[in-house]
Structure 1
Amino acid sequence: MGEKHKSTKPPHVLLFPFPSQGHINPITQFGKRLNSKGVKTTLVTTIYISNKTLSNNTSIPIEPISDGFDDGGHQSADSSESYVNKFREVGSKSLADLIRKLNSEGNHIDAIVYDSFITWALDVAMEFGINGGCFFTQSCAVNNIYYHVHKGLLSIPPNATVSLPGLPNLQPSETPSFVHNPGPYPGWAHGLFNQFSNIHQARWVFTNTFYKLEEEVIEWMRKMWPLKVVGPTVPSMYLDKRLEEDNNYGISVLKPNHTECMKWLNDKPKGSVVYLSFGSGGKLGCEQMEEVAWGLNESNVDFLWVVRETEKEKLPKEFVAKGLVVGWCNQVEVLAHESIGCFVTHCGFNSTLETLSLGVPIVGMPQYSDQTTNAKCLEDIWDVGVRVKADEKGLVRRKNLALCIKEIMEREQGVVARRNANKWRDLAIQAVDEGGSSEKDINEFVFHLKA
């Protein structure tokens, strides 16, 4: 009788992202896909993030655990190294306590899908006999580079052109900043290269991309690991439209100026607006902020610019915007709006997948982390826009930015980029649609859970 009752329960998966908005969103979207297929999911995040979350419009409940920084999160740590070390020490115990609690309540856990940054989550899972699945939020191209650093096959910084399986030749500056300039972020850099330390013990390896986008690198990775390609993890109503209520990410730690954005965009002609955002964690220096502001003025276009409240003091005092400056927005809804003609982006991988999934050409302005490599791919491999060049001080000057915006908004390069962006949009939809490559990999995972 007990066994029969157990078999009727849906499989239960813990989702454990790294505690930042850019890592929470993709793994949450993966959870929604699992929910739609009869899998119960629970999102594990830190007490700080749980307390800061403004909304949870998903069917995924949240279970908070401590990372040792309950009041201030990783920003309150002395350094990236101290955060990573404390998170491992306190988080391992907190996660184990949560598993015991859920088990005692009859919430049997069938798998833990954990962020690739949090390798110790797999160690905790194995202590309880639970299968673990590593979830990569960054591109396979970037993971390829980090893997070669981890194995000692690529020096830091690279001293010559980088040639790796499935990738075009890269200049050292086109590798992630943690590779070509690791000095400013030693704690994060070590964690990124360490992602592969126990990956051979993972039951599954998930990646937030789609097959046609990174076909050669995916095939190379599949020779080493049980890789499942489950992206793009963009709300369903912007892709296949099979999850009818899935029209936003659902979990937010920043409040969007939604009504203001949509009202303003609705009054603009089709393809006339330049949208700018540098992500939930990006910080431009004061001089760079000024150059962007005056570059927008020189480009003489209507623009929607996301400048978080903590960054607005860096705007030039005399700057009069020919556009709208907001603290945050629902990015997928903005990119889907017909008035958007171009996306000036830091090229974080979530933003990269969103702009490809919605067919919007880009001006790439990478800042750090994986963004430099993503920008290379967007311009030279996927051919959906241009990268704006920085000067010897690492600053993008106003004239260069204005020229790149005009290139996409007014000239032939923009026509080509838009056509290619639409091609990638169609391929992204096909990947998650019924019978698509990502859909097949998700179904195979669910089958294993239910078997």
Structure 2
Amino acid sequence: MVSPPHALVIPYPAQGHVIPLLEVAHALADRGFAVTFVNTEFIHARVVASGAGLEDGGRVRFVAVPDGMPPGDDRADLVKLTILMEDHIAPRVEELVLASGEGGGAGGKITCMVVDYNVGAWALDIARRTGIRSAAVWPASAAVLSTLLSYDKLIDDNIIDAEDGSALGEETFQLSLDMPPMRSAHLAWNCVGENDQQAAFFQYIVAGVRAVEHCDFLICNSFQDAEPAAFSLFPNVLPIGPLLTGERSGKAVGHFWKPEDEESMSWLDAQPARSVVYVAFGSFTMFDRRQFEELALGLELSGLSFLWVVRPDILQGGAVHDYPEGFLDRVCGSGGRGKLVAWSPQQRVLAHPAVACFVSHCGWNSTMEGVRNGVPFIAWPYFADQFVNQVYISDVWKVGLKAVADKSGVITKEHIAARLEELMGDAGMRKRVEALKKAAHESIQIRGSSYGNFDTFAEGMRKA
């Protein structure tokens, strides 16, 4: 009996990466692969504690490895975490590959490796040294991937510095006339804050670009009709999305917080169709106290019903949530229009007929989830690629409105309420988002472009 192909899948250790990589793992299992999924011990513990769907009948085997950071260290320090991975995770991964199949081990011999692009060159180097096939998964937009693949052009055009990638000269650039304008300050390596390791981080990214040139496949969680210009610029990038991120068989998978399923869904069930504003800012966004209060008061001022996801750690400095005086009693008390939860089953929420619009940080997973469910956006980015995604939402696809800060840098309650009123009354936007939803669904159906690309990728990874 021939053993099935065995894929080792390695996400970058952050929720927005674990969730799409886990869906890729399940999609490979659907096609007959044995799959081993590698999380850091810290991430594995969070996913297990959330009850987020690791019990899958053995389709995917989960392995936890150390990340090199002691307990209590700030794992939001992405530069430090990224640089440590090569020293601490790479040796364990190579051991997994070399020891696989010995003594009839689970899944048999590892035959291929599927890695998050952001994990970097070390994982693809292991695949090359051990003689197995490899693929890199880019879990964000093809436009942002294009900026990484074009780093040498950005250097030649004096847009970024060759040593550390810092912005030079013009603030905005376009990789092609058909692609949205981007700001050099929003490039991934320029969003790590005041960090003396930026040069090392940038060179780590450059090494990753060079390594990806030699892997067998480069796949992306997007779809052809969403970003045709980016896929024309880099035709070797295969769009396989939008992935059904974060949910399998009605159960949330890969989340770091326990979704309040029954509370969210039963509350939505009691609301009229297209009446609820869904507010969620992902796993990294943080607010200062004033902006948090303006958001609360803006939702109240709108007069609309809302479901607001308020993470326990959403305020800067670890401050305790301090809502405006009387807000909870006025809006979220018995019979009130608002519902607050610490986390939600987002895929199910966005698919619910009561949801009318999505106030979002524009993370790519959230963007694709909104698109595939036909929900228009108030686009409120926080970090890095989210600003490019905002441009797609508001200027390219025209399926949402930008949240715009005043001169003091605050998005005011009046602006929030006005934007919601404008969005809710825009029939043309509703028509456009439904058309984009249709294109997204067609891409992932049998004979759709993304479905076919995933089959091409899976068949290629089967080869010895």
Query: When the two structures are superposed, what TM-score results if normalisation uses the length of structure 2?
Result: 0.86
Q: Which residue of 2 aligns with 1:264?
A: 267
CA distance in 1, matches of 2:195, 2:388: 17
The letter for the 2-side match of 1:131 is R
Instruction: State whether residues 57 and 251 of structure 1, in contact with CA within 8 Å, keep that contact through their aligned partners in structure 2.
Output: no
Q: Aligned partners of 1:436, 1:171: CA distance in 2, in Å?
A: 30
Counterpart check, 1:388 vs 2:403: yes
Which deviates more from structure 2 when the two are superposed, residues 146-155 or residues 368-377?
Answer: 146-155
Structure-2 residue corresponding to 1:84: 82
Mean alpha-carbon deviation: is it higher for 57-66 or for 437-446? 57-66
Partners of 1:262 and 1:273 in 2: how far apart? 12
Q: Which amino acid aligns with 2:427?
A: V
Please list the CA deviations of residues 299-341 of structure 1 after superposition, one character each: whole Å capped at 9, or x if unmatched.
1111000001233723325123340111000001000011100
Q: Is the 8 A contact 1:364 1:386 kept in 2?
A: yes
Task: Check if 1:32 corresponds to 2:45.
Answer: no
What amino acid is aligned across from residue 74 of structure 2 in structure 1? Q
Letter in 2 for 1:442: F
Counterparts of 2:311 and 2:85 in 1: how far apart (Å)? 26
**CA distance in 2 between partners of 1:344 and 1:22 (Å):** 17
Query: Are the equivalent residues in 2 in contact too, given 1:172–1:180 (CA < 8 A)?
Result: no
Which residue in 2 is equivalent to 1:448? 460
Task: Go from structure 1 to structure 2 and tell me whether the alpha carbon gap of 1:263 and 1:234 turns closer, same or farther (over 3 Å shift).
Answer: same
Tell me what 2:97 maps to: 99
Does residue 1:425 correspond to 2:437, yes or no?
A: yes
Mark the CA change 1:187 to 1:135 in structure 2 (over 3 Å): closer, same or farther.
farther
Which whole-Å CA distance do the structure 1 matches of 2:64 and 2:21 have between them?
Answer: 16
Shift of 1:48: 1.3
CA distance in 2, matches of 1:324, 1:185: 38
Alignment partner of 1:364 out of 373, 379, 385: 379
- 1:228–1:70 distance in 2 versus 1, CA, 3 Å: farther
CA gap of 1:177–1:163, structure 2 versus 1, over 3 A, is: closer
Contact 1:80 1:186 in 2 (8 A): no
* 1:126 equivalent in alignment to 2:128: yes
Q: Deviation per CA, 1:179-227, whole angstroms, max 9, x where unpaired? A: 66654467586355654131111111111101111112112111xxx42
**2:322 maps to which of 301, 315, 321:** 315
Partner residue of 1:301? 304
Instruction: Indicate which of 336, 349, 352 corresponds to 2:364.
Output: 349
Aligned partner of 1:405 in structure 2 is 420
TM norm structure 1: 0.89
Q: Does the Cα contact within 8 Å between 1:361 and 1:421 map onto a contact in 2?
A: yes
Mapped contact 1:277–1:345 kept (Cα < 8 A): yes
Task: Mark the CA change 1:430 to 1:129 in structure 2 (over 3 Å): closer, same or farther.
Answer: same
Partner of 1:60: 60
- 1:232 is aligned to 2:242: yes
Per-residue Cα deviation, 1:22-66 (whole angstroms, up to 9, x for no partner)? 101111112222211112222111111112223314332211112
Superposition pairs for residues 14-53 of structure 1, below 5 Å? 14-53=8-47
User: In structure 2, how many angstroms separate the alpha carbons of the residues matched to 1:260 and 1:211?
Assistant: 36
Deviations 1:252-279 (A, max 9, x none): 3210111111111111110000000000
**Structure 1 residues 316 and 187: alpha-carbon distance in aligned structure 2, compared to 1, 3 A threshold:** farther
Aligned partners of 2:19 and 2:246 also within 8 Å: no
Alignment RMSD, CA only? 2.3
2:177 and 2:102 mapped to 1: Cα distance?
A: 47
**Structure 2 SS opposite 1:42:** strand
- Compared CA separation, residues 158 and 354, structure 1 to 2 (3 A): farther
Q: Which runs of at least 4 in structure 1 moved beyond 6 Å after TM superposition?
A: none
Which deviations, in whole Å up to 9, do the C-alpha atoms of 1:159-185 show, x marking residues without a partner? 334121264452638x63546665446
